[in-house]
Amino acid sequence: MHIIVPVVALQAGEVEAVAVVDIVAGLAGTGAENKHRQDECGAACIKQAAFHTWVPPGSKRPSIPSVPGAGKGRREKATPAGLASGHRRRQSGPIIRHRLIVTITVKDCTAPEATWVFGYGSLIYKVDFPFLQREVASIDGWQRRFWQGSHDHRGTPDSPGRVVTLTPARGALCQGVAYRVENSVFAHLDHREKNGYQRAPVSITLAASGATVEGVVYYAAPGNPAFLGEAPLPDMARHIAASAGPSGSNRDYLNQLARALQGLGARDEHVFELNRLVDAIE
């Protein structure tokens, strides 16, 4: 079946147009409805075309409006770009022309832009944002360390807590979770990670498939105003045990992170040793 619709620019919504249909006689009259689906999308996408108002052979055919770009005689090459591409008419009998009214439901199918985000701290267990996909994942060349101060979540401006950031380390592997999110989600994530964190591009390895995807990670670089830096583990443990902020105790942050990493089967002696030391403090 060859369809010609005199609609060149399709917008979101429903469009009703006249279509000229050449049907092999042996196939005519098989039904009053048909569906046409198109896989390829551009700025707008034809989701469904429902054909109705069938005019059978022998009936007086109403006048058919001219189709832009159509030649004389059989109008078989005047299809809008993309509408009938890939369709070839197989002629096995006399051609009968019919008039149909075509109602086309047009949907804007521009894919939402999405980005992979790698989570290695509270993003693993506190997921307060929508996501399209979640995968256990890892990044190479980075290690997780409790070197960043928290003035807004697990501490106060006068007494900041300690939370994780990333530091580069040759041969290191940081395990966590990757989320594919629509770019609109970054307004929320940027606010959540506002205290000294910045986005950086990173290659992420998805554990299930072994595929590498490009994404971003939030990390707090040395020199940012909230950076606390390295300290002996016992000192950091006492600091964490004594700190709390609007989002809860610093101890709870560490405990939840350690449990989440264990649930992923991840190995991180820095986190696990700190957790053991803090648990030993009354």
Please list the active-site residues: 193
Alpha-carbon span 143 to 121, nearest angstrom? 12
Q: Which of 244, 179, 172 is nearest to 217 (CA)?
A: 179
Quote the tokens at residue 190.
Answer: 């940027």
Alpha-carbon span 35 to 66, nearest angstrom? 24
Question: Rounded to whole angstroms, what are the CA distances from 163 to 147, 154, 203, 249?
Answer: 7, 8, 23, 11
Sorted by sequence, the CB contacts under 8 Å of residue 1 that are 6+ apart come out as: 21, 22, 23, 27, 34, 87, 89
- C-alpha count within 13 angstroms, C-beta hemisphere, residue 279: 11
Sorted by sequence, the CB contacts under 8 Å of residue 9 that are 6+ apart come out as: none
CB 244, CB 190: distance < 8 Å: no
